[in-house]
């Protein structure tokens, strides 16, 4: 029995939403309707038996594991009328053209896969497949925290939410996934979106061309950074090392969000002189740390990393004193201006190439007191 019209139908949702269960249900019904069915899955999915797809609820259906989408056409039998593809998020993008061409030929194509990854971001070719499909069903799991409908997959490492950039699981660490509702889905260390420029409020300095990060945005992000640092330094002798003078406002807010016992230190350095808007790589130390940092966990707190020359010199110097660890937390990162590689571990906001002022940052030593990050109009000079 051939279909008159081919079509693509998608079954998607988080882990444990019952996608495979739903596909198996459709395939069994197709068999009852005397359709010829073939099922494919990517080889990397070897969670259970290999020659079948298995739902979390225990249903099974025979399936052919394939390495890539181009392996499927030679395996198709002439009498096949229904093709199912499971775990489609793991396929190459060729699966989109394949699904289209099968449907064009009159086949019924059923595709199951995760719509988003553990970060909550679109997963592989699923968005394209959903766009070209005739039917899309988003089904839901049950949130492990609240019992509500779950639309997200939470990745946990040793019981804690995995970081956005946690690549592989450390040896000995237990990794686990569970379904979560949007408001219970946590992805620490997600890079903050590039702020967009907002108008300068009335009564503010006229040399400002715009507000890049508002006081509210800073407050929210500093709280997030503090939570990450708190999580990462449990049981460690933490020293927050503020680079004066630009980092001071950031430090005093950040330390209140780090709810672990820690000490603070200060270093005063200068990287360039008033009137010059680019660091020379000539770093002068005016004030050094008070304590011996050997064996301590040092987190450098900076206002902004621009070319990277200043921090590179500071790190070289601090490393000779043999701290237990040395990491960097910067409020702002002008990433596109980097001239020397520095490992920045915590970033408040990645910003475009503007000269900025406020929240500790100066223009020619003034205006550090502005509660937001403003953009200085090009060509502006004090006095
Ligand atoms: P770098 O050596 O080029 O990375 O410069 C780092 C230092 O330059 C920072 O600690 C700031 O003091 C200063 N800086 C860089 N960009 C800006 C800016 O846009 N406004 C104010 N100060 C800046
Ligand atoms: Mg500075």
In a domain, residue 110? The reply is: yes
Report the 3 state secondary structure along 65-79.
EECCHHHHHHHCCCC
Mean pLDDT in the chain? 91
Statement to judge: residues 243 and 105 lie in one domain: no
In a domain, residue 165? The reply is: no
Statement to judge: residues 97 and 221 lie in one domain: no
In a domain, residue 250? The reply is: yes
d(CA 17, CA 24): 14
In a domain, residue 93? The reply is: yes
CA of 294 to the centre of ligand 1 (A): 28
Catalytic residue IDs: 87
Statement to judge: residues 335 and 221 lie in one domain: yes
Whether the CB of 164 sits within 6 Å of ligand 1: no
Nearest CA to ligand 1 atom 12: 246
**Nearest ligand for residue 339 CA:** 1
- Look at residues 139, 165, 196 and tell me which one is the last residue of a structural domain: 139
Nearest CA to ligand 1 atom 15: 306
| Tens of pLDDT, residues 280-321 | 567 788 899 999 999 999 999 999 999 999 899 999 999 999
Question: Which CATH number do you get for residue 94?
Answer: 3.40.50.300
**Nearest ligand for residue 245 CA:** 2
Statement to judge: residues 331 and 222 lie in one domain: yes
CA-based R_g, the chain, Å: 27
Question: Which CATH number do you get for residue 360?
Answer: 3.40.50.2020
- Look at residues 78, 107, 139 and tell me which one is the last residue of a structural domain: 139
DSSP-derived secondary structure letter, 348: E
Nearest CA to ligand 1 atom 11: 304
Lowest mean pLDDT among 81-90, 108-117, 275-284: 275-284
Whether the CB of 330 sits within 6 Å of ligand 1: no
In a domain, residue 160? The reply is: no
Q: Which of 102, 117, 113, 212 is nearest to 155 (CA)?
A: 117
Average pLDDT over residues 269-285: 66
| Residue to probe by mutation, ligand 1, list 361, 368, 374, most atoms within 8 Å of CB | 361
Statement to judge: residues 214 and 363 lie in one domain: yes
**Residue 301 has which token pair?**
């707190």
Please report the atom of ligand 1 found closest to the CA of residue 337: 3
Whether the CB of 356 sits within 6 Å of ligand 1: yes
Q: Residue 213 is part of which domain span?
A: 208-376
The predicted structure's pLDDT at residue 173: 59
Average pLDDT over residues 100-115: 98
How many other C-beta atoms lie within 10 A of the C-beta of residue 256?
Answer: 11
Statement to judge: residues 256 and 352 lie in one domain: yes
Lowest mean pLDDT among 82-86, 136-140, 240-244, 276-280: 276-280
pTM of the predicted protein model: 0.66
Statement to judge: residues 17 and 113 lie in one domain: yes
Whether the CB of 246 sits within 6 Å of ligand 1: yes
In a domain, residue 157? The reply is: no
In a domain, residue 220? The reply is: yes
Lowest mean pLDDT among 62-71, 226-235, 260-269, 323-332: 226-235
Distance of CA 45 to the CA centre of its chain: 23
Over the range 217-247, which residues count as b (16 or more CB within 10 Å of their CB) and which as e?
A: bbeebbebbbebbeebbeeebbbbbbbbbbb
Whether the CB of 310 sits within 6 Å of ligand 1: yes
- Look at residues 105, 139, 173 and tell me which one is the last residue of a structural domain: 139
d(CA 17, CA 13): 6
| Tens of pLDDT, residues 156-206 | 988 889 988 776 555 555 689 999 999 999 998 787 777 889 999 999 999
Average pLDDT over residues 14-42: 96
Pairing of strands 346-350, 160-161: unpaired
In a domain, residue 203? The reply is: no
Statement to judge: residues 88 and 227 lie in one domain: no
The predicted structure's pLDDT at residue 172: 56
Statement to judge: residues 355 and 219 lie in one domain: yes
d(CA 13, CA 153): 9
- Please state the domain count of the chain: 2
The predicted structure's pLDDT at residue 48: 47
């Amino acid at each position: 029995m051939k279909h008159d019209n081919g079509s693509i139908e998608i079954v998607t949702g988080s882990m444990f939403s019952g996608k495979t269960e739903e596909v198996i249900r459709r395939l069994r019904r197709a068999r009852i309707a005397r359709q010829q069915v073939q099922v494919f899955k990517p080889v990397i999915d070897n969670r259970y038996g290999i020659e079948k797809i298995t739902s979390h609820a225990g249903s099974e259906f025979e399936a052919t594991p394939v390495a890539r989408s181009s392996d499927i056409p030679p395996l198709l039998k002439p009498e096949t009328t229904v093709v199912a593809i499971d775990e489609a998020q793991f396929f190459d993008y060729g699966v989109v053209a394949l699904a289209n061409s099968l449907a064009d030929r009159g086949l019924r194509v059923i595709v199951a896969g995760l719509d988003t990854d553990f970060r909550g971001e679109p997963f592989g070719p699923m968005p394209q497949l959903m766009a070209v499909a005739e039917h899309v069903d988003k089904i839901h799991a049950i949130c492990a925290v609240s019992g509500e409908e779950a639309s997200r997959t939470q990745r946990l490492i040793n019981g804690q939410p995995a970081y956005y950039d946690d690549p592989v699981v450390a040896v000995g660490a237990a990794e686990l996934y569970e379904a979560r509702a949007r408001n219970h889905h946590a992805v620490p260390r997600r890079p903050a979106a590039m702020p967009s420029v907002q108008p300068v409020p009335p009564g503010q300095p006229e040399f400002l061309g715009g507000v890049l990060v508002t006081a509210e945005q800073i407050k929210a992000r500093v709280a997030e950074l503090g939570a990450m640092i708190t999580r990462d330094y449990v049981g460690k002798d933490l020293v927050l090392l503020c680079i004066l003078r630009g980092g001071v406002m950031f430090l005093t807010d950040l330390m209140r969000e780090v709810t672990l016992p820690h000490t603070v230190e200060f270093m005063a350095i200068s990287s360039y002189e008033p009137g010059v808007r680019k660091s020379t790589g000539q770093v002068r130390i005016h004030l050094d740390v008070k304590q011996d940092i050997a064996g301590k966990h040092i987190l450098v707190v900076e206002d902004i990393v621009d070319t990277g020359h200043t921090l590179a010199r500071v790190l070289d110097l601090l490393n000779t004193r043999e701290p237990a660890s040395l990491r960097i937390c910067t409020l702002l990162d002008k990433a596109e201006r980097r001239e020397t590689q520095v490992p920045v571990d915590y970033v408040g906001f990645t910003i475009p190439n503007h000269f900025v002022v406020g929240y500790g940052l100066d223009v020619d030593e003034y205006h550090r007191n502005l509660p937001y990050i403003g953009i200085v109009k090009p060509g502006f000079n004090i006095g």
